[in-house]
Amino acid sequence: MCGIVGYVGNENARNIIIDGLKRLEYRGYDSAGIALADPEQGMIVRKKKGRIANLEEYISGENLFSTIGIGHTRWATHGAPSDENAHPHVSADGKIALVHNGIIENYVELKKELMEKHGIVFSSETDTEVLTKLIGVLYEGDLEDAVFKALDRVRGAFAIGVISQDEPGRLVAARKDSPLIVGLGRDGNFIASDIPAILKYCRQIYLIENNEVVVLTENNVQIFDAQRRPVRRDVFNVTWDADAAEKEGYDHFMLKEIHEQPEGIRNTVERRMDDHGEIVLDGINLTRETIEYFNKVYIVACGTAYHAGLIGKYAIEKFAHISVEVDIASEFRYRDPFVDDRTLFIAISQSGETLDTLAALREAKKKGARVLSVVNVVGSSVARESDDVFYTWAGPEIAVASTKAYTTQLVCMYLIGMYMGRKKGLLDDETYQTLMNELLVIPDKLETLLQKERVVQDLARRFYRSNNVFFIGRGPDSYVSYEGSLKLKEISYINSFAIAAGELKHGTIALIEKDTLVVALATQDSLFEKMLSNIKEVKSRDATVLAIAKEGNTTVEAEADYVFYIPQCPDELTPLLSVVPLQQFAYYIAKMRGCDIDKPKNLAKSVTVE
Report the distance separating Cα 21 and Cα 6, nearest Å.
10
**CA contacts within 13 A on the Cβ side of 194:** 32
Nearest alpha carbon to residue 400 among 588, 587, 192: 587
Q: What is the CA radius of gyration of the chain?
A: 25
Q: 3-class SS at 500?
A: strand
Pairing of strands 68-74, 3-9: antiparallel
Please identify every residue annotated as catalytic: 2, 605
Contact in structure between 39 and 63 (CB atoms under 8 Å): no
DSSP 485: H
How many other CB atoms are there within 10 angstroms of residue 220's CB atom? Answer: 10
Q: Is the dihedral of CA 83, 47, 607, 70 positive or negative?
A: negative
Local structure of 297: helix, strand or coil: strand
Half-sphere exposure (Cβ direction) of 81: Cα atoms closer than 13 Å: 18
Is the bond into 443 cis (omega within 30 degrees of 0)?
A: no
| CA dist., res. 185 & res. 330, Å (int) | 38
Cα-based distances in Å from 496 to 134, 252, 319, 582: 45, 22, 32, 12
Report the side by side order of strands in the sheet with 343-349.
324-328, 296-301, 343-349, 370-375, 388-391
Pairwise CA distance, residues 437 & 441, whole Å: 7
User: Cα–Cα distance between 43 and 262 in angstroms, integer?
Assistant: 49
Distance CA(477)–CA(413), nearest Å, equals: 16
Q: In sequence order, which ranges of 153-297 are alpha helices (DSSP H)?
A: 253-259, 261-270, 288-293
Q: Give, in order, the Cα–Cα distances in Å from 56 to each of 34, 71, 217, 386, 607.
A: 10, 12, 26, 40, 26
H or E stretch covering 137: helix 127-138
Pairing of strands 544-550, 562-566: parallel
The Cα 232–Cα 181 span in angstroms is 15
Q: Which helix (H) or strand (E) holds 192?
A: strand 188-192
For the chain, the helix, strand and coil percentages under 3-state DSSP, each to the nearest 5: 40, 25, 35
Distance CA 273, CA 436 (A): 10
